Structure 1
């Protein structure tokens, strides 16, 4: 894939690169041989953008995201945050996983304060209180994880990640296990939080509709070994309502990306307007 001029709005076109992925290759060594997960992946994540990474199961999306978080080492290639090479977890980068990963023996507030404890820093209780109120969890501070719904647990994980004020938020299919109605609510919530904070977000998903709904750009990966097959610019005005997913123009976009994934075509950048 070759990079070309960004055709989204002027602000996106001028945005500086926040994270740069260059020739990222990952081969897992197993008893039965090497598993080639990523092959020379190069991708820029721009300052303040919402980037979705999409592709078939097993294409290396999660491997790429975990490498961006410094949780996986690459076989070759580099991932840069500004001028710093990412080879281990970085305080500027927070990650939200597929599961909320709340410790069952700690209540909600103690789970949210855990990153501060690990970094030996006093918790920013004012920021935490604002975030809890923002996501509708004010008043649930003393509840145990088993007393919270799946959606509430994921809201808590979002608060936990944002409370340390990262500049980059990585999200690995965070809403995939939720029912359709709760997933819609969470997509609206993360869109609103992104619009308020302008955090740089890279979001992995299997859902084409979710990617188009959330993203400024959608990076489509090929089947294993994972490569960047296509990048789509999503020029849909914000805020976006869930109802746009039923519009013929939106469905057309979903079918276009679905066709590209199924037929393995790649190469040029495509603008979706």
Structure 2
């Protein structure tokens, strides 16, 4: 087995076809990508292009029709303890406390929770003292902070994020984006973010993968040239605006991304 620092995530020829009552739906077609250990990657594309299908396949929650996914030398065909995931909703069980929700994945795997790590993560995301609260006692942003803790509590190598902040207001979303970058800079986890917000993708990621309309394929990969750490003021800069706008145009089949990257450097 390779060392953890060498555990790149590789997707090769990922193809997914759903069979429905009205016929076959081709969600993904020959998707290839490699995510280096510690890299932050975002995936954007038109609605229905297969972004979430791809992410759930990487998580081991969907089986591919053809192709393969590997973390280092391990094939991913089912949920893996080295891969954590945040969903579109916090998905906290209303009858369990915040801490009990965080510990649930450990219970499912019949593992003892790392209480010290959970305490540190709760403090890091600003939820120190909220472990005994019920989900209804927390705001939407606080619930998503708890979801981050749950995803990171087992210290996974890879963190998958499926549009986790889409339901939050703009101010809270900006706060969460900054928090995610700070945690990533501290932990250097491998992160794959699915988002409909191109600005969010550019602010957080090292690379932005643009997917085509269904069946989803990788249409282009854009390197994000902005140094880290990134201030929220970056979003008001002309270079940031130009890159976001260029990616938006690329999604609508207007090939202007590379010139915008050159201007941003």
Tell whether the structures are fold-level matches, with TM greater than 0.5: yes
Conserved in 1, the CA contact under 8 Å of 2:222 and 2:257?
A: no
**Uncovered stretches (5+) of structure 2, i.e. residues with no partner:** none
Deviation digits for residues 206-225 of structure 1 (CA, Å, limit 9, x no counterpart): 11110000000000001111
* Pairing 1:154–2:154 present: no
* Pairing 1:221–2:195 present: no
127, 134, 144: which one aligns with 2:117: 127
Distance 1:186 1:59 in 2: 25
Conserved in 2, the CA contact under 8 Å of 1:229 and 1:265?
A: no
Counterparts of 1:49-128 in structure 2, within 5 Å, are 49-128=39-118
Conserved in 1, the CA contact under 8 Å of 2:103 and 2:150?
A: yes
21, 43, 56: which one aligns with 1:31: 21
Instruction: Give the CA deviation at 1:235.
Output: 1.7
SS of the counterpart of 1:263?
Answer: coil
Distance 1:30 1:266 in 2: 37
Instruction: Give the CA deviation at 1:192.
Output: 0.2
* Pairing 1:207–2:197 present: yes
**Uncovered stretches (5+) of structure 1, i.e. residues with no partner:** 1-14
Instruction: Give the CA deviation at 1:121.
Output: 1.5
Conserved in 2, the CA contact under 8 Å of 1:173 and 1:206?
A: yes
Conserved in 1, the CA contact under 8 Å of 2:94 and 2:134?
A: yes
Give the RMSD, CA atoms, in angstroms: 1.8
Instruction: Give the CA deviation at 1:268.
Output: 8.4
Distance 1:180 1:128 in 2: 28
Q: Which residue number corresponds to residue 229 of structure 2? A: 239
Q: Which residue number corresponds to residue 9 of structure 1? A: none
Q: Relative to structure 1, is the Cα distance of residues 200 and 268 closer, same or farther in structure 2, using a 3 angstrom cutoff?
A: same
Instruction: Give the CA deviation at 1:18.
Output: 1.1
Instruction: Give the CA deviation at 1:183.
Output: 0.2
Deviation digits for residues 87-136 of structure 1 (CA, Å, limit 9, x no counterpart): 10011001100000100000111111111111111111110000000000
SS of the counterpart of 2:235?
Answer: helix
Distance 2:6 2:221 in 1: 17
Q: How many residues align?
A: 259
Distance 2:6 2:128 in 1: 36
